[in-house]
Chain A
Amino acid sequence: MSENRTPFFVGYLSAPKGLRSFLLVSIVSMLLFFAGVGWLLATTQPDPGSAGFLPGRQTLIGVLENKPYPMLHVTEGSNRISTGTTVLLSGGGKRGVQSRGKDLEGAVVRISGQALARGDLQMIQLRGGMQGLADMSDTEAPGIDVEDLGKWRLQGEICDGKCLAGAMRPGTGLAHKACANLCLTGGVPPVFVSSQPVEGSEFLLVGNANGEPLTEQLLDYTALFVEAEGRIERRGSLLVFLMDPTTVRPLP
């Protein structure tokens, strides 16, 4: 049997002399290559922004509005969420809170939970049960200002409000589409992120032209850059985009 002189690498033995140069070049090349690919991929991604959960539990009192999606017009704020703000509401995980507040439309409620924020978009992830949403309807509810801002054509992206507000980062973009659709299907409020601010805000809660939820018709258009038309209302401090789903079209 002839002796095979080909150098052979064994992990637990010292490298054969004939392979050392090859191994050194390979290791350095691969380190440079993967570092380069990592840098290339990272630099081509958009900045995820500074959204996230705010520290501490927030307890707020305000007027509950369920349509198109649950929101609270805050009448007694906390140290992080000021009075007069309108916050979106969600449950734990990928769930909305439509069923919890359905009999409290327009009533004063006390809510408690974890706050999320991205810019002027704020959301409370409610605690479970009465600790998260308590009826205070014996308190007289103040009227909520609703201002019609006209009909608009906007460009931007339809996201789920919870991930966008910081439950996930980036919470936008095509890679997040499946998560966004699961959140929306679970009842999390959809939010339109406008390419440029509309009347001072780039985040608009989405509903249909009648002010009702619009989840099903949005699922094919989430996480894409789209153009859409509809009326915009300012309810409290929040803009609501009453979108006509027939006008939604993906941009090139």
Chain B
Amino acid sequence: MTAATLLTIAEYWLIIGAICAAVFLTFGIDRIDEDARGSYIFRPLLVPGVMLIWPLVLWRWQVLERERDNWKLRHLPERKAHTAIWSALCLVLPLIVLLGLAVRQTPPDGAPIKLEEAR
């Protein structure tokens, strides 16, 4: 996959994100967060974040809109995974550092070689 393809994907992702941000911050946020009603200055600050994580915003929006949110259970999966994730990170992070040190180039010590004499 070329860099141009990645940039095109990122471009479309951000365009969709901008549309989601416009709709959510204009209408949606008032419907799911009563504290946001009547407050407008902070909304432009949320635009970059919404553009990046718009799928999550849309998913949470529909969950809250349908009143299916259970805040007690909402963070349970992440909390249960904490031990496993931190244990894995303890192994993975040092491995990444060591791998980086292992695969880096060795400084050359080859002497300059004269291929042709001066003209």
Contacts and interface: CB of A to CB of B under 8 A. Distances in A.
B112 A154 contact: yes
A195 B108 contact: yes
Nearest to B119: A148
B116 interface: yes
A225 B118 contact: no
A151 interface: yes
Interface residues of B, number: 18
Interface string B95-119: 0010001001111111111111111
Interface residues of A, number: 27
A174 B104 contact: yes
A198 interface: yes
Contacts of A155: 108-110, 112
A91 interface: no
Interface string A176-200: 0000000000000000001111100
B114 to A, nearest CB: 5
Given A44-B101, A196-B112, A198-B112, A150 B118 contact: yes
A7 interface: no
Contacts of B117: 150
Interface centre among B101, B106, B107 (most CB of A within 10 A): B107
Interface in A134-183: 147-156, 174
Nearest to A229: B115
Contacts of A227: 108, 110
Interface of A: 41, 44, 46, 147-156, 174, 194-198, 224-225, 227, 229, 231, 250-252
Contacts of B104: 174
B112 A150 contact: no
A46 to B, nearest CB: 7
B112 A224 contact: no
A187 B50 CA distance: 38
Interface centre among B106, B109, B114, B119 (most CB of A within 10 A): B114
A152 B114 contact: yes
B105 A148 contact: no
5 contacts: A150-B114, A150-B118, A156-B108, A195-B107, A229-B115
Nearest to A204: B112
Interface centre among B111, B112, B115, B118 (most CB of A within 10 A): B112
Interface string B70-108: 000000000000000000000000000100010011111
A10 to B, nearest CB: 20
A150 B115 CA distance: 7
A153 B101 CA distance: 28
A152 B115 contact: yes
A155 B113 CA distance: 9
A103 to B, nearest CB: 31
Contacts of A44: 101
A251 B114 contact: no
